[in-house]
A and B are shown apart, each in its own frame.
Chain A
Amino acid sequence: MKTMLLRRLGVLLPTLLLVSMMVFGLQKLLPGDPALALAGEERNPEVIAYLRQKYRFNDPIPVQYAVWLKGVAQGDFGTSVRTRLPIGTMLLQKLPVTFELAILSMLFALLVGLPIGILAALRRGTPLDFGASLFGLAGLSIPHFWLGIMLILLFSVNLGWLPAGGFVPPTESVGRNLLSMLMPALVLGTGTAAIMMRHVRSAMILAMKQDYVRTARAKGMRERTIALRHALPNALIPVVTLGMLQFGELLAGAVLTEQVFSIPGFGKMIVDGVFSRDYAVVQAVVLCTAAVFLLMNLIADLTYVLLNPRLRK
C-alpha cells in the first residue's frame, strides 16, 4: 500500500508541475503586453509597473515561470485586479461554498442513482429498466444551465417556493442555507446521478452473473437477499471509485450552476475573473481545480485498493 502511494505520488507531482507550466503558459496566449492584459481595463501605470516588476516580464520565460511557481508554492497566487484582495484568500473563501454544493450534489446523485441503478439491473428488460435508461440518457444530455433555468421558472417564478438564487452561509442559518442550495444541488447532481445509475446497473448485472451468486441461489437464498447482501457490496466497489472521480467533476461542473444561481463559489470566481480580465484569478482557479482533481484521482485509486482485498495482496 505504501509503495503504491509513493508510486502514485511520483506520478502526481510531475503531472501537477506540467499543469502549472500549462497554466503559466496561458498568459502567453494573450495578445500584446501581458502586463497590460493582467492589469485589466484600468491601465493604471502603477499597476502595470508593479506587475512588470513582480512577474519579471523583462526576464526570460523560464525565470518568469520560476518566480511565479515559487509564489504559488507559498500560497501566493498574486492579487486580484478586480477586488484587490490576495487570490489565495479569495480561494479559501470560495472553496468551502463550492465544496458544499459538490457534497450536496453527490448526496443527491447517490440517493437517486444507486436505487434506480440497482432496480434497473434486477428488473432488466422491463419498462422500469427502459425508464432508467431514458433517465440516464436525459441526465447526460440536459445542459446544467438549462435545467437550472427551468427549475427557477417552475419553483421560483411560478410557484414561489424556492429562492431563485443567492447563497446564505450555514453560519447564518442552516435551514435557509439548505433551501438556497436545494435547486443548485439537484441541477449539478443530475448528470452524476445518471452516470452513477448507468455504472451501478452494469456492475449489478455483472455481479449477479458471478459464481457466488449461483452458489447462493443453489443454497435456496431469496433473490432479494442475494442481491443486497452478496451482489451489491461487490458491485459498489467500482462505484465508490467512480464517486471519488465524479466529485472532482462536480467541482468543475459547478462553474455553470453557480453562474445560474449566483452562488459565490469557485466557479463564479473563474467566470468573474474572465470578464474582469483578472487573468491571475483564472490561472489560480484552473491550477487549484486540477490539484483537487488529481487528489481525488489519488484517493479514488487508494480507496479501490483498500476495498478490493485481491489488490491489497
Chain B
Amino acid sequence: MAAEAALSFKSVTKTYGYSHLGHITYSLGVENLSLEVKPGEAFGLLGLNGSGKTTTFKLALGLLKPTSGQVSMLELSQVGFLPELPYFYPFLSPEQSLRFYGRLSGLTEAELAHRVAHALEAVGLAGQRRRKIRELSKGTVQRLGLAQAMLHDPKLMMLDEPVSGLDPLAIKDFRDTLASLNEQGKTLIISSHSISELEKLCHRVGVLKEGRLVRLIEQRQWRQASGGLEGLFVETVRS
C-alpha cells in the first residue's frame, strides 16, 4: 500500500463464477482496476448499472475477494460504510442500533453516550431515537445509515448511493453533512448515479464502464468543460 493512500487497488480483477449442472459460467465484475484514493480526498465513482461500482466497494471492504490483484485499505476500525440500502434489525430503535454498532466498533460506554447523541443530532434523528426501525420511513433509515457510518469517527467513509430515496431537502442536508465531514479531513468515497451530487462534493471522479476504470476526471476538468461532469461522463461511456 502506498504510504499515503486511504484505499489502493493494484490491477484488481474480480470474476464471478456461476455453476449449474457442472457447467460454470463466468461474468466480469471488475477488470484490471488500478486506483489510489488519497487521504482527505472526496472521490466519486460513476458508472451505468452493472459497471462494477458496488463490486469495487465490496472488494475494498472484504465482502468479496479479488480473483487477482491486490486491495489495500485502512483497518476496518477506521472505516465507515453506508451500503446502498442499509438494513437494520427491525426490533431495535435508532439509539439501540447505534449503540450496538458502536460497541462492535470498539467504542467504550462513555464514548457511546456522547457519539450516539451527536450522530443522531447530525442526521436529524434525535426526535425519533426511540422508535422501532420497522416504523421508520426509507429516508429515515437512510439517515440512520449515515449515522452508523460516522458514529466511530472513521478516517475513511465509503458511501454507496447515499442519497438514494431521499427527498430534495434531505439530499441537501446529506450533502452538507458529507461536505462538513470532508472538511474535517475524512476521506470520502462516494458511489452514485446522481452526477450533480458528485459534482458538488468530489475532488475527483472515476468512471467505470463494463468493469473497467476508463477515465479519471479532476474537479477542474469538469468545471472547465461546457457540459460539466455530465457531459464528460456521457462522452466517456459512449465512446
Same complex origin of A and B = no
Mark B residues whose CB is within 8 Å of A: none
Mark A residues whose CB is within 8 Å of B: none
